[in-house]
Amino acid sequence: MDDPRATVKAGLVLGGRNRLVELIGRGGLGDVWLSDHTVIRKPAAIKLLPPEPSAEVAAGLRAWLRLIGVIDDRGLVALYDYGRGPGEGVFALMEYVRGPSLARVLADVGRLSPERAMATVAGVATVLGKVHGVGGVHGELRPDPILIRPEGTPVLTLFGLRRCYGPPYADLSTAGAGTRYRAPEQLADQPADVASDVWALGAVAYHCLAGRPPREGPDHGSPPPRPVDVPVSVWSIVESALAPRPADRPGPADLVATASELAG
């Protein structure tokens, strides 16, 4: 079946009330459009997904969206609805976050202050703890899907859909920039878990503090030394999260407590 997203244009109305306004994001799995509700005139974001290849994948996708939908936290983009269209594709209606991605912020400013980096770590770790609490795992954490609200707090975009669809969308090979934030065990083809998310958050924190990811490719080399202007107390959090052995990494709750204290 042809991918119905290829014919999508501004003005298309999904679900009888959500009019597509403009394309605001494009990824390997689904495009994201800004939409306008035709009745209440409230902006939202719509992620257009490809047709599910099987009934099993469709059921898994619905179950995952239900799981994410029960998490009530401003650190996770709110999921409003999902449905069919265009064609046989699927759309997920979610909160529109007015703010850049962390990747864009880092591209613009290079590095964050230790206080701002720790506030970001604490915010992301808080919502990761809630995701883990309902039995979920992120598995794809990096600066791109972390948005920054106007007041400066981080928010995770919708995630985990690639795993629902399976290959080729869920290709976790060592190719691509995302491997720079993927835990060593994931690069060894082991499934992501809580400790993997902690490593990825440590990699994001490293990028915030040092101005670059801890690795430039899928290698397992040690990260470079601490920048001289980053306090040892802050750097120790990053080092612990990036521990090679999953058992040596802190849990999300520990990251929240320590990072919040250092954020001031």
Instruction: Look at residue 37 in the predicted model and tell me its pLDDT.
Output: 85
pLDDT tens, position by position, 100-158: 999 999 999 999 999 999 999 999 999 999 999 999 999 999 999 999 999 999 999 99
Average pLDDT over residues 51-58: 88
Q: Which of 149, 258, 152 is nearest to 202 (CA)?
A: 258
262's CB contacts (< 8 A; 6+ apart) are 114, 115, 118, 231, 233, 234, 237
Q: Answer whether residue 1 shows pLDDT above 60.
A: no
SS3 of residue 210 by DSSP: helix
Average pLDDT over residues 157-180: 72
Q: How many CB atoms lie within 10 A of CB 67?
A: 14
Please, what is the average pLDDT of the chain? 87
Q: Answer whether residue 246 shows pLDDT above 70.
A: yes
Q: Which of 126, 260, 129 is nearest to 194 (CA)?
A: 129
Q: Answer whether residue 222 shows pLDDT above 80.
A: no
Which domains are assigned to the chain?
4-94 (3.30.200.20), 102-263 (1.10.510.10)
Q: Residue 237 has which token pair? A: 């959090």
